Amino acid sequence: MEEIEELHAIFDNSHSLFRINSNMHWQKSRLLSLKEGDANSKKFHDIMSSRRRTNSIVSLSVNGSTVEGVVGIQGAVFNNFASQF
């Protein structure tokens, strides 16, 4: 039961961090647009979206098997760190 509650807390925290990160990327694109004096914010939004997609984790290889999805990746990362500490 404690593990389930801890996984829920990890999911909530990661979702919160994702929203903060997404907001930060949006603000960064707006600042760059204003700094360079370009009103074409779509271009900078596309660049930042591309960077976010490049930096995201879509799947992990764990013991020879592929883990996909938010819950699966969170569980694999959690188990990895739990076994180390």
Query: pLDDT for 17-38, tens place per residue?
Result: 888 888 888 888 777 766 766 6
Tokens of 59: 């799947």
Q: In sequence order, which ranges of the chain are alpha helices (DSSP H)?
A: 2-36, 41-55, 70-84
Pairwise CA distance, residues 32 & 29, whole Å = 5
Does the pLDDT of residue 40 top 80, yes or no? Answer: no
Q: State the pLDDT at residue 41.
A: 67
pLDDT bucket at 10, cuts 50 / 70 / 90: confident
pLDDT digits (tens, 9 = 90+) for 41-83: 677 788 888 888 888 888 888 888 999 988 888 899 998 899 8
Given its phi and psi angles, is residue 58 left (phi above 0), alpha (psi -120 to 50 degrees) or beta?
alpha
Q: State the pLDDT at residue 43.
A: 76
